[in-house]
Amino acid sequence: MYEVRGSCPPAANRVSTDKGWREGARAQALYFCGDWRGYRYIQAEKMNERKMTTFFGRYLFENPPKETRVYELKFTASKSIRFDALSEHQRDAMKQAESVGLYHRITDQPWIKDRPRAYTLKKPFDCFFVKCRAYVVVWFYKPRKQKVFYAIRIMDFLAMEASTERKSFTEDMARECYSDLLEIS
């Protein structure tokens, strides 16, 4: 069974609702991409924090902040996100970066015995020290809607957590205490 979406010709713009295109795969959607005559397709995947990092990284390259900042990105496809999604070590590091500064050593790359020339990405330098603003950036994902990222300063985030009895926070709560609102198309 197929469902037609978008303004492209029906034959070129189909969404599969069958049991996947690969054997044993879950039901997955294929969305039309590019010139409709070429029938090029890309596989649509579920949105997650990894893809959020890509969107956010592109945004920072196009709109670099005026001063150094550190970010912890959090993603949710539901109406709320737990406060403990920000781990204790992340809280401590972000508070330290905002108050006295944070030193971090970048770990060395692994060497793979069977593939001596296969390394992960090369590190840009050995270590760094930052004393800057620290933000928890939260994206309450809604499919096919504008990407709105709430950048909340770490101290505001901790104050929001202390001021409520809840174990999670909603988009309305984030809207009340954000420092920066980033709308990414």
DSSP codes joined into one string, 126-171:
SEEEE-SEEEEEEEE--TTS-EEEEEEEHHHHHHHHHT-S-SEEEH
Write out pLDDT tens, residues 84-121.
Answer: 999 999 999 999 999 999 999 988 776 666 666 665 66
Question: Which amino acid is located at 84 in the chain?
Answer: D
Same domain (yes/no): 144, 54: yes
- Of 66, 68, 136, 134, give the one whose Cα is nearest residue 99: 134
What is the model's pLDDT at position 4? Answer: 39
Domain count of the fold of the chain: 2
Same domain (yes/no): 132, 41: no
Same domain (yes/no): 77, 142: yes
Same domain (yes/no): 129, 73: yes
Compute the distance between CA of residue 33 and CA of residue 121 in angstroms, rounded to an integer. Answer: 29
Same domain (yes/no): 127, 107: yes
Give yes or no for residue 36 having a pLDDT over 70. no
> How many Å separate Cα 119 from the centre of its chain?
25
Same domain (yes/no): 32, 89: no
What is the model's pLDDT at position 15? Answer: 41
User: 28 or 147: which carries more pLDDT confidence?
Assistant: 147
pLDDT-based confidence at residue 25 (cuts at 50, 70, 90)? very low
Query: What is the extent of the structural domain holding 71?
Result: 49-184
What is the model's pLDDT at position 50? Answer: 85
User: 64 or 115: which carries more pLDDT confidence?
Assistant: 64
Same domain (yes/no): 136, 56: yes
Same domain (yes/no): 110, 157: yes
Same domain (yes/no): 64, 155: yes
Same domain (yes/no): 20, 94: no
Same domain (yes/no): 9, 75: no
Same domain (yes/no): 29, 105: no
